[in-house]
Amino acid sequence: MKPFFQIFLLCLLPLTGSSLSFFQKQLSDEELKEKIAAEMSLDEKIGQLFMLGYPESDPDDFILEEIRSGRVGNVKIFGWNATDTGVVAEAVAKMQKAAAETRFEIPLFTATDQEGGWIRHVKGNTSVTPGNNAIGATGKLFDAYESGRLIAAELRVIGINMNFAPVVDLFDNPEADLIGPRTFSSDPHETAALAIAFFHGQEASRVLSTAKHFPGHGRTGLDSHIYMPRIRVSEEELKQHELIPFSFLVKEKIPAIMSGHLNFPEVTGENVSASLSPHALKDLLRDEMGFKGLVITDDLLMGGAQKPGVGYPNIPAECIRAGNDIVLISKDYRYYRDAFKVIRELCLKDAEFMNEVERAVRRVLTAKIEYLRNDDRVPLYPTKANAEELPLEESTAYQQSLALRAVTAAAPIKTIERTTPLLLAGSYRNFSRAGSEIFTDSRFFFIRDFSRGTNQYEIADEIAALAEAENRIVVLLVSDTETAAVGRVLNRREVPCILFSSLNPYRARDILLPEQSILYLYGVGFESFKAGFSALVGDFVPQGHLPIQ
């Protein structure tokens, strides 16, 4: 039968979910996309451009009704939704069933941030992984690929079909505690290679990858959740550095890129975040770099989402005008409702804006048809029983092996006996648990929250007194600026000390303890800490290299 006769016959059928199923096998992907785009109502089109979070562990009546009406086409699973993987699976199924009640039965993109390491929004029974710094420390494409594949395989079990990863920012700023530990490297070409492998790993599990944060968050130590970082770098410098990983990923046809709330005044020529800059998204990303996929904003409730003279609730519309295809709002329903109204009114009176919406809708439909139509798609209706498969056995074994390969020693380490008395000082219970498994005579000193008024000198005094009284070697876990400060004080007081570094490796390196006293672990999970203590007793020789210059 000729394709136009197929379309003609379908048009004669009543507009029911079964007759206009998103999964119509009679139509090619392109025909299906154009048919749905042509027949959608304005509200249904706008709905495909919104990604909305919800405030509790279960999706509430409001978001379910917005999904059923076609006014929300995508959802984001945040950490506050995802402490129980069984609940997440049931929530995803409930929301996908609501989407199946729309007349086109278009599935939702169900997204999350499961980068590996520190950023793991879906907790519960998912694997704790050493993270991107650890992958950078091994430098192995295999590790990047397997990390992406296994992280995505676990998300697949509970119905999450889009991951906001890989992070392709560069570890350029020693003060970048927010971004630095989430990066692969300070080297753009190494980052590109590892990010490509991670992307293809996620592809193997059919989870849609989203590279972030375009055009690059690594030079600033500021948190774009709170501020709009201003990064003074020329466009040429940007192309020769931050944009290199993005350029390689575009060539590899990565399906989505997240726009960052970062201001590059010498590039955009104005005081506006890149997520709201047509020059950044249209001229650079689309025209020069040739990106054809989805552009998704970072959360628009973040402080960095700014454009002079434009305020709530007009920011989402300006994001679409700038070249974004999906706008993300974490959990403010009022913001969503007001922004939807603004976008709708603009569509009715501004033909140019309506054209932007039409282009964005087609890009969203293209991606959904590619990832959510075929038999290899992420299951739409996971169950609580599915979640009981987590963590995947192969992932648990792999994460331990990655943690071992990642351990980095600045110089050959002096191993110590398992019976050596140790004082384990840090703020992670897994650090204490891993140490006590290997060292029978260890004691844990919990470093209190500095915000309570305690300072590094008081903590160092307590640690030094305990170490001297009990003749113990101190193993200090450096994970932030506060514990690094404690390390400097202990160093000045010549307290026998070994440093374990997790998260930002600059913090330990800058303490200037003797090189043989530092082991870089990168992660904050039990596997990473166990790997460090295993190296300390000589079970293996660390082979990792620092992923920073």
Asked if residue 278 belongs to a domain, the reply is yes
Antiparallel, parallel or unpaired: β 294-297 and 256-259:
parallel
Give the orientation angle of helix 85-100 with respect to helix 61-68, to 10 degrees: 40
- Per-residue confidence band for 22, with pLDDT thresholds at 50, 70 and 90: low
- Per-residue confidence band for 516, with pLDDT thresholds at 50, 70 and 90: low
238 and 168 within one domain:
yes
Burial label, 58 (beta-carbon count in 10 A; 0-12, 13-18, 19+): middle
- In SS3 terms, 277-310 reads as CHHHHHHHHHHHCCCCCEEEECCCCCCCCCECCE
Conformational region of residue 409, where left means phi above 0, alpha means psi within -120 to 50, and beta covers everything else: beta
What is the rounded average pLDDT of the residues 335-351? 98
Which of 58, 84, 200, 225 is flagged as catalytic?
A: 225
Q: How confident is the model at residue 412, as a pLDDT? A: 83
* Rounded Cα distance, 303 and 306, in Å: 7
* Rounded Cα distance, 44 and 357, in Å: 11
Which of residues 413 and 405 earns the better pLDDT score?
405
270 and 164 within one domain:
yes
Q: What is the pLDDT of residues 127-147, one digit of tens each?
A: 999 999 999 999 999 999 999
Which of residues 361 and 456 earns the better pLDDT score?
361
Scan for tokens 């709530």, then name that residue.
Answer: 312
54 and 16 within one domain:
no
149 and 56 within one domain:
yes
- Per-residue confidence band for 453, with pLDDT thresholds at 50, 70 and 90: low
% of the chain at pLDDT higher than 90: 85
Burial label, 194 (beta-carbon count in 10 A; 0-12, 13-18, 19+): buried
Asked if residue 206 belongs to a domain, the reply is yes
- Of the candidates 259, 339, 321, 257, the residue with the CA atom closest to the CA atom of residue 290: 257
Asked if residue 399 belongs to a domain, the reply is no
Please name the residue ranges forming H helices in 101-241: 132-138, 141-157, 188-204, 235-240
Sign, Cα dihedral of 213, 215, 218, 220:
negative
pLDDT above 70: residue 4:
no
Q: How confident is the model at residue 222, as a pLDDT? A: 85
Domain residues for 28?
A: 1-39
Q: What are the Cα distances from residue 540, in Å, to 107, 189, 401, 409, 431?
A: 48, 29, 12, 12, 19
Contact by Cβ (8 Å): 378, 488: no
The CATH number covering residue 461 comes to 3.40.50.10090
What is the rounded average pLDDT of the residues 501-508? 93
Q: How confident is the model at residue 102, as a pLDDT? A: 96
Q: What is the pLDDT of residues 273-294, one digit of tens each?
A: 999 999 999 999 999 999 999 9
379 and 233 within one domain:
yes
Contact by Cβ (8 Å): 112, 207: no
- Per-residue confidence band for 504, with pLDDT thresholds at 50, 70 and 90: very high
Sheet holding 109-112, edge to edge: 294-297, 256-259, 208-214, 162-163, 109-112, 74-77, 50-52, 327-329
213 is known as an active-site residue: no
Mean pLDDT of the chain: 92
Q: How confident is the model at residue 146, as a pLDDT? A: 98
241 and 192 within one domain:
yes
Contact by Cβ (8 Å): 279, 269: yes
34 and 128 within one domain:
no
Contact by Cβ (8 Å): 484, 510: yes
pLDDT above 80: residue 454:
no
Which of 298, 299, 325, 332 is flagged as catalytic?
A: 298
What is the rounded average pLDDT of the residues 220-229? 88
Report the residue count for the chain: 549
Residue 492 burial (CB count, 10 A):
9
Q: How confident is the model at residue 20, as a pLDDT? A: 44
149 and 91 within one domain:
yes
pLDDT above 50: residue 3:
no
474 and 334 within one domain:
no
225 is known as an active-site residue: yes
342 and 318 within one domain:
yes
Q: What is the pLDDT of residues 228-267, one digit of tens each?
A: 989 999 999 999 999 999 999 999 999 999 999 999 999 9
Give the number of domains in the chain. Answer: 3
Give the orientation angle of helix 315-322 with respect to helix 333-349, to 10 degrees: 50
Instruction: Give φ, ψ of 213 to 5 degrees.
Output: -115, 110
Asked if residue 541 belongs to a domain, the reply is no
pLDDT above 50: residue 520:
yes
